[in-house]
Amino acid sequence: MNTKETKKLAGKGQVFTSVWDALSDTTAEAENMKVRSALMMSIRSYINAQNLIQAEAAKVCQITQPRMNDLLNGKISKFSLDALINIAVAAGLRVDVTVREPEPA
């Protein structure tokens, strides 16, 4: 969904539970973005809690420093779910997936 379409939707008073719901073309895409975003935030929180500089964090996560920079700066389009899971596991984190019923309308 482009910015113009998003503005049209916002102008019609639609309310979204997540920015990803508003920006994604499909429910599947929105869910994928939500999970990727949560993984990125968790990895960033862990790195911050460990007081690691980017070069150290990259080494711990087994990625390059420029790739770590992309992660820390939230460049979500540069990371697949698989890549983020691999980065989290390399850092020593555990990843769990929860699947639940949709919320009632």
Q: What is the number of other CB atoms lying within 10 angstroms of the CB of residue 37?
A: 17
d(CA 47, CA 44): 5
pLDDT of res. 31:
84
The residues, ordered by sequence, that sit 6+ positions from 71 with a Cβ below 8 Å of its Cβ are 40, 43, 44, 63, 79, 87
C-alpha to C-alpha distance for 27 and 69, rounded to whole angstroms: 29
Q: Summarize pLDDT for 4-59 with one digit per residue, the tens.
A: 444 445 556 676 666 555 555 677 788 888 899 999 999 999 999 999 999 999 99
Q: Is 42 exposed, middle or buried (0-12, 13-18, 19+ CB in 10 A)?
A: middle
Domains in the chain, ordered, with CATH?
A: 3-90 (1.10.260.40)
